[in-house]
Amino acid sequence: MEIQLWREILAPYQLAVDELKVKFEHIIREHRSAGLYSPIEQVIGRVKSISSILEKVQKKQCSINQIEEYLDDIAGIRIICQFVEDIDKVVDIIRNREDMTIKSEKDYINHMKPSGYRSYHMIINYTVNTMNGPKHIRAEIQIRTLAMNFWATIEHSLQYKYKQNMPAHIREKLSSASEAIIQLDEEMSAVRDEIMDAQNSFQIKANIVSDILNNIQNLYKIANKREIIKIQDEFYKVYQVGDIEQLAHFSKQLDIIAEGYRAQSLS
Ligand code: 0O2
Protein backbone atom coordinates (compact mmCIF):
# COMPACT_ATOMS: atom_id res chain seq x y z
CA MET A 1 0.00 0.00 0.00
CA GLU A 2 1.24 3.47 -0.86
CA ILE A 3 2.05 5.51 2.24
CA GLN A 4 0.04 8.50 0.97
CA LEU A 5 -3.07 6.29 0.85
CA TRP A 6 -3.09 5.90 4.66
CA ARG A 7 -4.96 9.14 5.14
CA GLU A 8 -7.59 8.16 2.56
CA ILE A 9 -8.10 4.75 4.15
CA LEU A 10 -8.31 6.13 7.68
CA ALA A 11 -10.65 9.05 6.83
CA PRO A 12 -13.94 7.07 7.11
CA TYR A 13 -12.72 5.67 10.45
CA GLN A 14 -12.10 9.22 11.70
CA LEU A 15 -15.62 10.10 10.59
CA ALA A 16 -16.99 7.08 12.47
CA VAL A 17 -15.08 8.06 15.63
CA ASP A 18 -16.36 11.66 15.38
CA GLU A 19 -19.96 10.55 14.82
CA LEU A 20 -19.93 7.93 17.57
CA LYS A 21 -18.44 10.39 20.05
CA VAL A 22 -21.20 12.91 19.28
CA LYS A 23 -23.87 10.21 19.66
CA PHE A 24 -22.63 8.91 23.00
CA GLU A 25 -21.99 12.41 24.33
CA HIS A 26 -25.55 13.25 23.35
CA ILE A 27 -26.75 10.42 25.61
CA ILE A 28 -24.93 12.11 28.51
CA ARG A 29 -26.52 15.47 27.63
CA GLU A 30 -30.01 13.97 27.27
CA HIS A 31 -29.81 12.41 30.72
CA ARG A 32 -28.39 15.52 32.37
CA SER A 33 -30.86 17.94 30.82
CA ALA A 34 -33.70 15.67 31.99
CA GLY A 35 -32.15 15.83 35.48
CA LEU A 36 -31.30 12.12 35.30
CA TYR A 37 -28.16 10.24 36.23
CA SER A 38 -26.15 9.35 33.12
CA PRO A 39 -24.68 5.81 32.99
CA ILE A 40 -22.03 7.28 30.70
CA GLU A 41 -19.56 9.58 32.43
CA GLN A 42 -17.14 10.29 29.60
CA VAL A 43 -16.49 9.29 25.99
CA ILE A 44 -13.07 9.09 24.39
CA GLY A 45 -12.40 8.26 20.75
CA ARG A 46 -9.36 7.64 18.59
CA VAL A 47 -8.32 6.29 15.23
CA LYS A 48 -5.54 3.74 15.70
CA SER A 49 -2.16 5.32 15.00
CA ILE A 50 -0.30 4.14 11.93
CA SER A 51 2.52 2.73 14.07
CA SER A 52 0.01 0.73 16.17
CA ILE A 53 -1.60 -0.53 12.95
CA LEU A 54 1.80 -1.67 11.69
CA GLU A 55 2.45 -3.46 15.01
CA LYS A 56 -0.90 -5.27 14.74
CA VAL A 57 -0.17 -6.22 11.13
CA GLN A 58 2.99 -7.92 12.39
CA LYS A 59 1.18 -9.59 15.28
CA LYS A 60 -1.64 -10.87 13.07
CA GLN A 61 0.77 -11.78 10.29
CA CYS A 62 -1.43 -10.21 7.67
CA SER A 63 -0.53 -7.81 4.88
CA ILE A 64 -0.94 -4.03 5.10
CA ASN A 65 -3.56 -4.29 2.36
CA GLN A 66 -5.68 -6.49 4.62
CA ILE A 67 -5.93 -4.18 7.62
CA GLU A 68 -9.60 -3.33 7.05
CA GLU A 69 -10.38 -7.04 6.91
CA TYR A 70 -8.26 -8.12 9.92
CA LEU A 71 -8.39 -5.17 12.33
CA ASP A 72 -11.58 -4.52 14.29
CA ASP A 73 -10.25 -1.57 16.22
CA ILE A 74 -9.05 0.96 13.63
CA ALA A 75 -11.88 3.08 15.00
CA GLY A 76 -12.00 2.91 18.79
CA ILE A 77 -14.41 4.39 21.30
CA ARG A 78 -13.96 4.17 25.05
CA ILE A 79 -16.94 4.74 27.29
CA ILE A 80 -16.12 5.49 30.91
CA CYS A 81 -18.72 4.84 33.61
CA GLN A 82 -18.73 5.73 37.27
CA PHE A 83 -20.02 2.39 38.55
CA VAL A 84 -19.74 -1.25 37.43
CA GLU A 85 -23.57 -1.41 37.29
CA ASP A 86 -23.56 1.31 34.63
CA ILE A 87 -21.62 -0.92 32.24
CA ASP A 88 -24.60 -3.27 31.69
CA LYS A 89 -26.83 -0.25 31.09
CA VAL A 90 -24.47 1.08 28.43
CA VAL A 91 -24.23 -2.38 26.81
CA ASP A 92 -28.05 -2.48 26.61
CA ILE A 93 -28.18 1.02 25.13
CA ILE A 94 -25.73 -0.07 22.42
CA ARG A 95 -27.55 -3.36 21.74
CA ASN A 96 -30.82 -1.46 21.25
CA ARG A 97 -29.53 1.17 18.86
CA GLU A 98 -30.66 1.03 15.25
CA ASP A 99 -27.61 2.79 13.80
CA MET A 100 -25.16 0.02 14.74
CA THR A 101 -25.20 -3.78 14.95
CA ILE A 102 -23.09 -5.99 17.19
CA LYS A 103 -20.49 -8.21 15.56
CA SER A 104 -19.05 -9.62 18.80
CA GLU A 105 -18.71 -8.98 22.52
CA LYS A 106 -16.03 -9.85 25.10
CA ASP A 107 -16.76 -9.66 28.80
CA TYR A 108 -13.48 -9.02 30.59
CA ILE A 109 -15.45 -7.71 33.58
CA ASN A 110 -16.71 -11.12 34.66
CA HIS A 111 -13.77 -12.87 32.98
CA MET A 112 -10.77 -10.78 33.95
CA LYS A 113 -7.65 -11.23 31.80
CA PRO A 114 -4.65 -12.91 33.52
CA SER A 115 -2.95 -9.48 33.45
CA GLY A 116 -5.72 -8.08 35.69
CA TYR A 117 -7.32 -6.17 32.78
CA ARG A 118 -11.07 -5.57 33.10
CA SER A 119 -13.32 -3.95 30.51
CA TYR A 120 -16.35 -4.85 28.34
CA HIS A 121 -15.60 -4.92 24.62
CA MET A 122 -18.07 -4.69 21.76
CA ILE A 123 -17.21 -4.79 18.08
CA ILE A 124 -19.91 -3.01 16.11
CA ASN A 125 -20.76 -2.75 12.44
CA TYR A 126 -21.35 0.88 11.58
CA THR A 127 -22.00 2.75 8.33
CA VAL A 128 -20.57 6.15 7.48
CA ASN A 129 -21.59 8.18 4.47
CA THR A 130 -18.68 9.57 2.48
CA MET A 131 -18.57 11.46 -0.81
CA ASN A 132 -18.12 8.05 -2.46
CA GLY A 133 -21.29 6.73 -0.84
CA PRO A 134 -21.90 4.58 2.24
CA LYS A 135 -19.00 2.68 3.72
CA HIS A 136 -19.50 -0.18 6.16
CA ILE A 137 -16.83 -0.34 8.82
CA ARG A 138 -16.23 -1.95 12.19
CA ALA A 139 -15.41 -0.13 15.40
CA GLU A 140 -14.39 -1.32 18.86
CA ILE A 141 -16.19 0.05 21.90
CA GLN A 142 -14.50 -0.49 25.27
CA ILE A 143 -16.72 0.11 28.30
CA ARG A 144 -15.18 0.32 31.77
CA THR A 145 -15.32 2.21 35.05
CA LEU A 146 -13.13 5.19 35.94
CA ALA A 147 -11.14 2.94 38.26
CA MET A 148 -10.67 0.19 35.63
CA ASN A 149 -9.59 2.86 33.14
CA PHE A 150 -7.02 4.20 35.60
CA TRP A 151 -5.50 0.72 35.96
CA ALA A 152 -5.61 -0.07 32.22
CA THR A 153 -3.99 3.24 31.27
CA ILE A 154 -1.06 2.73 33.66
CA GLU A 155 -0.67 -0.93 32.71
CA HIS A 156 -0.79 -0.09 29.00
CA SER A 157 2.10 2.35 29.30
CA LEU A 158 4.14 -0.19 31.28
CA GLN A 159 3.37 -2.84 28.65
CA TYR A 160 4.62 -0.40 26.02
CA LYS A 161 7.81 0.21 28.01
CA TYR A 162 8.63 -3.43 28.76
CA LYS A 163 6.98 -5.18 25.77
CA GLN A 164 7.05 -8.90 26.64
CA ASN A 165 9.65 -8.46 29.39
CA MET A 166 7.78 -6.87 32.25
CA PRO A 167 9.76 -7.52 35.48
CA ALA A 168 8.01 -9.95 37.83
CA HIS A 169 7.81 -7.44 40.73
CA ILE A 170 5.98 -4.90 38.51
CA ARG A 171 3.63 -7.60 37.24
CA GLU A 172 2.87 -8.52 40.86
CA LYS A 173 2.25 -4.88 41.82
CA LEU A 174 -0.14 -4.51 38.87
CA SER A 175 -1.91 -7.67 39.85
CA SER A 176 -2.47 -6.49 43.43
CA ALA A 177 -3.46 -3.02 42.16
CA SER A 178 -6.05 -4.77 39.98
CA GLU A 179 -7.48 -6.50 43.09
CA ALA A 180 -7.59 -3.11 44.82
CA ILE A 181 -9.52 -1.69 41.83
CA ILE A 182 -12.11 -4.49 42.15
CA GLN A 183 -12.52 -3.62 45.83
CA LEU A 184 -12.70 0.12 45.11
CA ASP A 185 -15.43 -0.43 42.51
CA GLU A 186 -17.34 -2.66 44.95
CA GLU A 187 -17.12 -0.06 47.72
CA MET A 188 -18.29 2.70 45.38
CA SER A 189 -21.19 0.49 44.26
CA ALA A 190 -22.23 0.09 47.89
CA VAL A 191 -22.83 3.86 48.15
CA ARG A 192 -24.01 4.21 44.53
CA ASP A 193 -27.55 5.27 45.45
CA GLU A 194 -26.29 8.05 47.71
CA ILE A 195 -23.76 9.27 45.16
CA MET A 196 -26.42 9.19 42.42
CA ASP A 197 -28.85 11.11 44.65
CA ALA A 198 -26.25 13.79 45.34
CA GLN A 199 -25.37 14.07 41.66
CA ASN A 200 -29.03 14.17 40.59
CA SER A 201 -29.78 16.98 43.04
CA PHE A 202 -26.77 18.89 41.79
CA GLN A 203 -27.88 18.44 38.15
CA ILE A 204 -31.51 19.35 38.86
CA LYS A 205 -30.39 22.50 40.67
CA ALA A 206 -28.01 23.40 37.82
CA ASN A 207 -30.84 22.97 35.27
CA ILE A 208 -33.24 25.15 37.27
CA VAL A 209 -30.63 27.88 37.78
CA SER A 210 -29.82 27.81 34.08
CA ASP A 211 -33.56 28.19 33.19
CA ILE A 212 -33.89 31.10 35.64
CA LEU A 213 -30.82 32.91 34.32
CA ASN A 214 -32.01 32.38 30.77
CA ASN A 215 -35.37 33.95 31.59
CA ILE A 216 -33.76 36.88 33.44
CA GLN A 217 -31.43 37.51 30.52
CA ASN A 218 -34.34 37.46 28.05
CA LEU A 219 -36.45 39.75 30.26
CA TYR A 220 -33.57 42.23 30.40
CA LYS A 221 -34.13 42.92 26.72
CA ILE A 222 -37.80 43.80 27.01
CA ALA A 223 -39.06 44.21 30.55
CA ASN A 224 -39.02 47.16 32.91
CA LYS A 225 -35.51 47.49 34.41
CA ARG A 226 -36.79 48.08 37.94
CA GLU A 227 -38.85 44.90 37.75
CA ILE A 228 -35.83 42.93 36.52
CA ILE A 229 -33.64 44.18 39.36
CA LYS A 230 -36.36 43.12 41.81
CA ILE A 231 -36.50 39.66 40.21
CA GLN A 232 -32.73 39.40 40.32
CA ASP A 233 -32.57 40.34 44.03
CA GLU A 234 -35.31 37.82 44.75
CA PHE A 235 -33.34 35.16 42.85
CA TYR A 236 -30.17 35.81 44.91
CA LYS A 237 -32.20 35.46 48.11
CA VAL A 238 -33.77 32.16 47.03
CA TYR A 239 -30.43 30.91 45.71
CA GLN A 240 -28.69 31.64 49.01
CA VAL A 241 -31.22 29.55 50.91
CA GLY A 242 -30.21 26.71 48.57
CA ASP A 243 -33.53 24.87 48.69
CA ILE A 244 -34.37 23.14 45.37
CA GLU A 245 -38.16 23.29 45.96
CA GLN A 246 -38.00 27.04 46.47
CA LEU A 247 -35.82 27.48 43.41
CA ALA A 248 -38.23 25.38 41.32
CA HIS A 249 -41.17 27.45 42.57
CA PHE A 250 -39.32 30.68 41.78
CA SER A 251 -38.48 29.34 38.31
CA LYS A 252 -42.16 28.50 37.61
CA GLN A 253 -43.27 31.97 38.63
CA LEU A 254 -40.58 33.51 36.46
CA ASP A 255 -41.80 31.36 33.55
CA ILE A 256 -45.25 32.91 33.95
CA ILE A 257 -43.79 36.44 33.98
CA ALA A 258 -41.62 35.67 30.95
CA GLU A 259 -44.61 34.17 29.13
CA GLY A 260 -46.49 37.41 29.75
CA TYR A 261 -43.69 39.27 27.98
CA ARG A 262 -43.34 36.48 25.38
CA ALA A 263 -39.68 36.44 26.48
CA GLN A 264 -39.13 32.69 26.67
CA SER A 265 -38.40 32.20 23.00
CA LEU A 266 -35.91 35.05 22.80
CA SER A 267 -32.38 33.83 22.20
P1 0O2 B 1 -4.15 -0.57 21.81
O2 0O2 B 1 -2.80 0.03 21.70
O3 0O2 B 1 -4.88 -0.14 23.04
O4 0O2 B 1 -4.97 -0.42 20.58
P5 0O2 B 1 -7.28 -8.08 18.60
O6 0O2 B 1 -5.79 -8.09 18.57
O7 0O2 B 1 -7.85 -6.77 19.11
O8 0O2 B 1 -7.93 -8.53 17.36
P9 0O2 B 1 -7.37 -9.33 21.05
O10 0O2 B 1 -5.97 -8.96 21.41
O11 0O2 B 1 -7.84 -10.68 21.51
O12 0O2 B 1 -7.66 -9.24 19.55
O13 0O2 B 1 -8.36 -8.25 21.56
P14 0O2 B 1 -8.69 -7.86 23.02
O15 0O2 B 1 -8.07 -8.79 24.00
O16 0O2 B 1 -10.14 -7.69 23.06
O17 0O2 B 1 -7.90 -6.48 23.15
C18 0O2 B 1 -8.27 -5.39 22.42
C19 0O2 B 1 -7.82 -4.14 23.15
O20 0O2 B 1 -8.16 -4.23 24.53
C21 0O2 B 1 -6.33 -3.91 23.16
O22 0O2 B 1 -5.97 -3.30 21.96
C23 0O2 B 1 -6.18 -3.01 24.36
O24 0O2 B 1 -6.61 -1.67 24.07
C25 0O2 B 1 -7.17 -3.60 25.32
N26 0O2 B 1 -6.52 -4.62 26.14
C27 0O2 B 1 -6.63 -5.96 26.02
N28 0O2 B 1 -5.91 -6.60 26.96
C29 0O2 B 1 -5.32 -5.63 27.70
C30 0O2 B 1 -4.46 -5.66 28.85
O31 0O2 B 1 -4.06 -6.70 29.36
N32 0O2 B 1 -4.05 -4.44 29.35
C33 0O2 B 1 -4.47 -3.26 28.80
N34 0O2 B 1 -4.03 -2.12 29.35
N35 0O2 B 1 -5.28 -3.21 27.71
C36 0O2 B 1 -5.70 -4.38 27.18
P37 0O2 B 1 -4.50 -3.35 21.43
O38 0O2 B 1 -4.51 -3.21 19.96
O39 0O2 B 1 -3.81 -4.58 21.95
O40 0O2 B 1 -3.83 -2.10 22.06
**Closest to 185 in 3D by CA, of 88, 106, 107, 85:** 85
Q: How far is CA 249 from CA 208, 239, 244, in A?
A: 10, 12, 9
Residue 265 to residues 102, 153, 221, 225, 259, Cα–Cα distance (Å): 42, 46, 12, 19, 9
Of 170, 187, 215, the last residue of a domain is: 170
Range of the domain at 221: 195-261
Query: What pLDDT sits at residue 164?
Result: 84
- 227 part of the active site: no
Residue 266 covered by a domain = no
Query: Half-sphere exposure (CA, 13 Å, Cβ side) for 103?
Result: 14
Q: Which of 170, 205, 230 is the last residue of a domain?
A: 170
- Cα separation, 243 vs 221, in Å, equals 28
How far is residue 51's CA from residue 45's CA, in Å, rounded to a whole number? Answer: 17
In-domain check, residue 267: no
Q: Is the CB of 211 under 6 A from ligand 1?
A: no
Q: What is the pLDDT of residue 211?
A: 95
Confidence (pLDDT) at 242 = 87
Asked if residue 61 belongs to a domain, the reply is: yes
Answer yes or no: is 188 within a domain.
no
Chain-centroid distance, C-alpha 246 = 32
Q: Is ligand 1 within 6 A of the CB of residue 121?
A: yes
Residues 89 and 205 in one domain: no
Instruction: Indicate if 42 and 150 belong to the same structural domain.
Output: yes
Low-confidence ranges of the chain (pLDDT < 50): none
Query: What ligand 1 atom has the least distance to the C-alpha of 106?
Result: 16
Residue 187 in domain? no
Q: Does residue 181 sit within a domain?
A: no
**pTM summary value:** 0.87
Domain total in the chain: 2
Specify the CATH number for the domain of residue 141.
3.30.460.10
Is 201 in the same domain as 165? no
The answer on 218 and 87 residing in a single domain is no
| Nearest CA owner, ligand 1 atom 26 | 117
Residues 221 and 120 in one domain: no
pLDDT of residue 224: 87
Whether 33 and 131 share a structural domain: yes
pLDDT (tens digit per residue) in 118-128: 999 999 999 99
Do 89 and 13 fall into the same domain? yes
Do 256 and 158 fall within a single domain? no
Q: Quick one: pLDDT at residue 257? A: 92
* Tally of CA atoms within 13 A in the half-sphere of 34 that contains its CB: 9
In a domain, 164, yes or no: yes
Q: Indicate whether residue 52 lines ligand 1 (CB < 6 A).
A: yes
